[in-house]
Structure 1
Amino acid sequence: MMHPDQAAWFRYSPWPLSAHPIERMSDALDTPEVSASLLRDEREGRYPDTALRALHTAGLGKFLVDGSGGPAGASYPEVTALICMLAQRSGSLGITVGVNVLALLPIYLAADPALSADVFAGVRAGQFLSLLLTELTSGSDLLGGQLTAVPVRDGNQEISRYCLTGAKDLINGGTHHDLLVTLARTRCDRLSDRRSPMEEMGDFTLFVVPRGDATVTADRWRTLPAPAADIAGVSFVDAIVGVDRVIGREGEGFPIIRRTLTCSRGGIAALSSGTISRARQLASVYAREKFLYGRPIAALLPIAEHLLALEALDRLVAAISIHAVAAVNMLGPGAAAATAAAKSAGCALAEEGVREGARILGARALLADLPYAQLSRDILLYSVFDGTSHVVEEELATHVEREARRRDQKRQPGHSLSSLQNLYRHPLNPMAKHMRSTRDNWTLALPETFLELSELAGVPLDIIAACAVSLLEVVTSFQAQGLWRAGAFRHDIAKAYALLECLAAGAILIDPVRRGLLGLPASKEPTDQDEMVWSYAVGMLGARVLNVLMAVATITGSELPVGSPIHALGGFETCLRACLDMQTEAKRAWHTKLTCNSN
């Protein structure tokens, strides 16, 4: 099994995570008994008890609350790094532990000190949490939830407790986990009223419900990805919960959950990063060790190209995940734009990367008894976690629209390269502090950021800078024509924007030249391949963004302004050829290197 430092997330992380408790937990999972047990659990669809006990013995409970031992508690980068490491080994294990991080976020956000202390003590002692949001009939429409928590009043007409009745479903940890963080409707008298979503948001309250006699669990769902995960329904039958188990105040449940999911998306990208790093490792080893006519297949041009694409995608997914995690570490819920970009680009690029690896392994990727098949199944899960891709892209489109309006009105950018540097240099921040941050939404000004980056040495970024300007020009044109809200191409623009934000993160975290110039610590185990892989990544994503802009402009008949930087560089087609040339040059250098290594 790969060591954490071999994964791209750990290589490019700007935080000091070596000699860390994560390594101790990694070693605990890699013992023969535990690794064999985890493999059996995956194959038989059984909850991974043995692996979880090994993690707790290695300090999991304390780590989830206290991090690496600082007095202020765990930080988001630390727990996200843990989730990435677990996803390298098993998607089931990654989401089983990950739901604890997810359910702890509302505790950090809004729970009072007494409730927080009680929950933290339980986690340290080995209790697990679940987050109960979805219901089978309403799915991700949380405002459609029917589970009720009826207030019960004492003799003084003060609310003394709540009575919970109803069911949640598709719950991670549904049959096993001890503390159930539950979203329930507390304004039950208005259940049949037809009101606006804004009015309904105040109808819900969040509770910490200990599993007890009034808790009934349904049979587990069998799932294609993460087969060992405990996905099941949970019902409450007149479950009595005291007022001291309310997170925040009555009626604040929905806003708390929205802020929670905003922060958790960086963790979803980290799951994707762990999975694609494992795919890259398995594919690379196979390509080196599988011989065809006396030479390793890595020397074959098509295989070499798949390997190069997988290397680039692995690094890009790590970069956008780290970018989102850094934003949450400094800004808390103000990191909405960065986490939406990470969820969109990170999950999509990781799925693509796992497919690239499957092409290298051929039939072996399809054998259920070999490890790669599980990666192909697990990677499908992450894009539907914490809001499906379409929901996230709709939110991202709102941030893009705001940036286009800012640039059209010639207002100064709020955040560009110096802000991005500060983001990555920010020290580990306890979740107890940053989750309650009230900072406004932080949106990176991509045109200005790429312009500054293009002035530094490193792989050229002038075309990418022009793309960032042109994307906002297209949005401005759509707004003027009344097309922005009318067409589905708004999601295509949002996805392209996420790719550009991915490149902005990569330009600092992955590009070895710029990383050094901007004062970040050197990446772990730098190699002479780094620059050619980054050059390929820039050409690949640059070509994709250009293709989106060309297609949308053609469909809508929109034209860029005369002074657009794309025109200054020769137009869309000239820029596209330049991006394709970057990929071709990187492929040639990569193939030459692999051929020399195989001789």
Structure 2
Amino acid sequence: MSAGVAGVAGATGSAVTALEDMLGQWRAGGPFAPEDLARLDAAEAVPVAACRALDDAGLPAYYVPARFGGRLVGFPQVVAMLRAVARQDLTVAIAHGKTFLGAVSVWVSGSPETAERLARQIIDGAVVCWGLTERGHGSDLLSGEVSAERTTDGWRLHGTKWLINNATRAQVACVLARTSAVGGPRGFSLFLVDKRELSPDRLRTLDKIPTHGIRGADISGLSFDGAPLPATALIGEPGKGGETVLKALQLTRTACTALSLGAGDHAIRLATRFARERRLYGRPVAEMPLARDTIGRAAARLLLAEAVTAVATRAIHVLPREMSVFSAVCKAFVPTIVQEAIEQVAELLGARGYLTDVFEHGEFAKLERDHRLVAIFDGSTLVNRHMLISQFTRLGRGYGVLDPSAADRLSTLVNGPLPDFAYDTLALVSASGCGLVLAVPGLLHRVRELDSGGLMAHVLADFEAACAKTHAAIGAYRPAAGMPAADAFALAELYEVCVAGAACLLILSSRPGDGRAWTLLRGCLELVVERLVPGRYGDDGVFAALAEHALLDDEPLTLFPRDQEDSPW
């Protein structure tokens, strides 16, 4: 790897800050210039130069665990780096970050030899894709028809994987294939396919699929016709492919939040710049009460998404056995609430949010289109809520016990050094539910102690009552055969909001005396209660105060300045 991010970081600070500085330079006149990215989007062309710049900067090394020679030590860091890229352009972030998603299965279950071989390729710039889905089967992975049959010296792969990001650009593909005729949970295995080793008569890349968003993305498919694979292509044990994918998805779904946060950062920046500069009726739009309320409420949504992401990415290290819950909440909640924020500020921008040649090279229209696709990556919102519903029995157990030490016990979720992540500790379901939400009574106790003026008393009381009511409903839920009813999905959505509120309480408990953080988090909690209590409308003054922070400058609005020692990033 060249000096790149690591070299600059060594001299100036964190790798995240170094990457942000590079991206700023490239935006001013380089591969991330907005006008150039807009032209590529219109032509539905892959932003190759921008991806190459990230390669040259050494970003691929942060997709590889340190034990295999890379620089991935903490998941919060790689999420923060992908967020920084997505803040500039979602298409680039998706195209480049897909290698991380494609490789995770190998980090979870691959042999050391396979992992080290793939690690070297990624660090050298190889693109990796993930071939899971097929035409007609979608997210129902256990209905997949692509098959792998044993041979005397390895395997032969047959069938077509469809809707694969980077299928054409990638040199390596991680492919899920049926290895048992009867299928089922133990009937699928994963294979690492080096496309460069297959002849055109054995592997054919399908045509690019036109998409409404991320137009430049290389989304197509791979068709295998008896493609010969060596025995070493198998990832993990035969029949464990489904289990490996489900565990890998816990990491990739959490990482997808980086795409939403970056898009939200970009949208808020464009909207606040417009509001400061645009004048109507003799004054800036930013001074109009409705505009300030819109900005404040959109900012609260983005910050709430950030709070959930910050805690969940650290939970990968701290509470890995609960990631089936955290990842499902992240993937269902974060893209949903960030999309709401984008739509809110779109109303503020009016026609300029949709025109391509009038305001900021059409960046807002592009990010709005692009971000809509994030919700379906690595499992749609409904798929992830179904994952939560399947764990209701555990999630509803034990809520309501006051543990005054909860904030201290969970403090590693928001600050301090992280333990090394052990990939083999991931579990398909969480036997203990979600420790963060079970700690809500104790977290409320701590925050009330810190809230000496009682400014948050009302919102804390409302959250306490709503959280208890939600858990009572979850505890009373009785699963039935078949697909859950609509009210179960609505209950899962409420549970996501409870997790978001718990994340805010935990962060508040870790930031005593930080007036700025308390102002921002109070806005987040007002939003949480709005979503949990029918007819409740948050305090306008709180959102107006939040808008003041959002309108200050062009820097991303965040709960955690990256250069502070207590930042979870």
Say whether the fold is shared (TM-score over 0.5): yes
Question: Which of the numbers 12, 15, 30 marks the counterpart of 1:33?
Answer: 30
C-alpha change, 1:19 and 1:537, in structure 2 (3 Å) is closer
Give the aligned partner of residue 205 of structure 2: 217
Question: Equivalences for 1:266-345 in 2 at 5 Å?
Answer: 266-332=254-320, 334-345=322-333
Deviation at 1:59, TM superposition (A): 1.0
Identify the residue that residue 533 of structure 2 maps to in structure 1: 546
Which residue of structure 2 lines up, in the alignment, with residue 381 of structure 1?
373
Counterpart in the other structure of 1:424:
414
Mark the CA change 1:67 to 1:401 in structure 2 (over 3 Å): closer, same or farther. same
SS in 1 for 2:136: coil
Q: Is the 8 A contact 2:395 2:474 kept in 1?
A: no
1:479: Cα distance to partner?
4.2
**1:554 alignment counterpart:** none
In the TM superposition, residue 224 of structure 1 has moved relative to its aligned partner by 1.0
Distance 2:307 2:385 in 1: 19
Give, in angstroms, the shift of residue 333 of structure 1: 5.5
Query: Could you say what secondary structure the match of 1:516 adopts?
Result: coil
Q: 1:413 to 1:489 in 2, by over 3 A?
A: farther
Instruction: Report if the CA contact (8 A) 2:296-2:544 is conserved.
Output: no
Task: Name the larger-Rg structure.
Answer: 1
Of residues 486-495 and 64-73 in structure 1, the stretch that sits farther from structure 2 once superposed is: 64-73
Mapped to 2, the partners of 1:235 and 1:483 lie a distance apart of 36
Distance, in Å, in 2 between the alignment partners of 1:262 and 1:384 is 15
Do 1:397 and 1:491's aligned partners in 2 also have CA atoms closer than 8 Å?
Answer: yes
The offset of 1:17, in angstroms, is 4.1
For structure 1, the 5+ residue unaligned runs are 1-15, 154-159, 192-199, 548-575
> Conserved in 1, the CA contact under 8 Å of 2:31 and 2:53?
yes
AA paired with 1:300? M
Q: How far is the alpha carbon of 1:209 from its aligned partner?
A: 0.3
* Counterpart position of 2:101: 102
Which amino acid in the other structure matches residue 58 of structure 1?
A
How far 1:109 sits from its partner (Å)? 0.7
- Kindly indicate whether the alpha-carbon contact (under 8 Å) linking 1:333 and 1:435 is maintained by their aligned counterparts in 2: no
Residue 260 to residue 594, structure 1, CA distance change in 2 (3 Å): closer
Q: Tell me the TM-score normalized by structure 1.
A: 0.80
Q: Which residue of 2 aligns with 1:4?
A: none
- Contact between 2:107 and 2:423, CA under 8 Å: does it hold in 1? yes
How far apart are 1:594 and its partner, in Å?
Answer: 10
Q: Distance in 2 between matches of 1:41 and 1:586?
A: 41
**Is the Cα contact below 8 Å between 2:147 and 2:177 reproduced in 1?**
yes
Aligned amino acid, residue 266 of structure 1: T
> Is residue 445 of structure 2 the alignment partner of residue 452 of structure 1?
yes
Distance 1:285 1:497, change over 3 A: same
Aligned match of 2:235: 247
SS at structure 2 position matched to 1:170:
strand
* Number of residue equivalences: 520
Change (3 A) 1:321 1:596: closer
SS of residue matched to 2:138: coil
The answer (yes or no) to whether the contact 1:28–1:34 under 8 Å persists in 2 is: no
Q: CA-atom RMSD, angstroms?
A: 3.1
Does 1:203 pair with 2:201?
Answer: no
SS at 1:249 equivalent = coil
Alignment partners' CA distance in 2, 1:252 and 1:593: 49
Quote the residue 2:562 is aligned against.
none
Task: Please tell me whether the aligned partners of residues 484 and 490 of structure 1 are also in contact (alpha carbons under 8 angstroms).
Answer: no
The one-letter amino acid paired with 1:60 is L
Match of 1:517 in 2: 512
Alignment deviations for residues 372-397 of structure 1 (CA, whole Å, 9 cap, x no partner): 00111112111111111111111112
Query: Are 1:23 and 2:20 an aligned pair?
Result: yes
1:142-171 Cα offsets, whole Å, 9 max, x none, are 111111111002xxxxxx210111110100
CA pair 220-415 structure 1, distance change in 2 beyond 3 A: farther
Which deviates the most, 334-343 or 142-151? 334-343
Residues in 1 aligned to 2:68 and 2:142: alpha-carbon distance in whole angstroms: 39
Per the TM alignment, residue 454 of structure 1 is displaced from its structure 2 partner at its CA by: 3.9
Cα 1:591–1:185 change in 2 (3 A) is: closer
Q: Is residue 2:470 matched to residue 1:476?
A: no
| Range moving further from structure 2, 76-85 or 454-463 | 454-463
The one-letter amino acid of 1:348's match is T
Contact 2:70 2:119 in 1 (8 A): no
Q: Distance in 1 between matches of 2:59 and 2:193?
A: 22
Which of 161, 174, 192 is the matching residue for 2:167?
Answer: 174
Provide the C-alpha distance between the structure 1 equivalents of 2:505 and 2:443, rounded to a whole number of angstroms: 9
Letter in 1 for 2:413: L
Distance 1:19 1:221, change over 3 A: closer
CA–CA separation in structure 2 for the residues paired with 1:484 and 1:454: 42
Q: Is the 8 A contact 1:185 1:203 kept in 2?
A: yes
CA contact (8 A) 2:156 2:227 kept: yes
Q: What is the aligned partner in structure 2 of residue 77 from structure 1?
A: 76
Quick one: which amino acid aligns to residue 539 of structure 1? E
Aligned counterpart, 1:583: 539
Contact 1:328 1:434 in 2 (8 A): no
- Which is worse superposed, 350-359 or 461-470? 461-470
Question: 1:248: how far off?
Answer: 0.3
C-alpha change, 1:49 and 1:343, in structure 2 (3 Å) is same
Q: 1:466 and 1:423 mapped to 2: Cα distance? A: 24
Deviation for aligned residue 1:66: 5.6
* Residue identity matched to 2:40: D
> How much does 1:254 deviate?
0.6
Relative to structure 1, the CA distance from residue 140 to residue 333 in structure 2 (aligned partners, 3 Å threshold; closer, same or farther) is farther
The TM-score normalised by the length of structure 2 is: 0.84
Once the two structures are TM-superposed, the CA of residue 472 in structure 1 deviates from its matched residue by 1.3
Q: Distance in 2 between matches of 1:53 and 1:364?
A: 31
Contact 2:82 2:259 (8 Å CA) reproduced: yes
Question: 2: distance between equivalents of 1:337 and 1:594?
Answer: 31
CA distance in 2, matches of 1:347, 1:59: 28
Residues 145-184 of structure 1: matches in 2 within 5 Å?
145-153=144-152, 160-184=153-177
Q: 2:275 & 2:446 partners in 1: Cα distance? A: 35
Does structure 1 residue 498 correspond to structure 2 residue 496?
yes
Shift of residue 532, structure 1, vs aligned partner: 4.0
Report the Cα offset of residue 419 of structure 1: 4.0
| Structure 2 CA distance for partners of 1:47 and 1:500, relative to 1, 3 Å | same
Give CA-to-partner distance per residue, 1:53-91, whole Å, 9 cap, x none: 111111123232267999874432222112211211222
Show the 5 A alignment for 1:343-382. Answer: 343-369=331-357, 370-382=362-374
* Structure 1 pair 479–145 and aligned structure 2 pair: CA distance change class (3 A): closer
Equivalent residue in structure 1 for 2:387, among 384, 395, 409: 395
- Choose which of 154, 159, 180 in structure 2 pairs with 1:187: 180
- 8 Å CA contact 1:90, 1:226 repeated in 2: no
1-structure distance, mates of 2:247, 2:151: 28
Letter in 2 for 1:363: A
Name the SS of the counterpart of 1:139 in structure 2.
coil
1: CA distance between counterparts of 2:180 and 2:16? 50
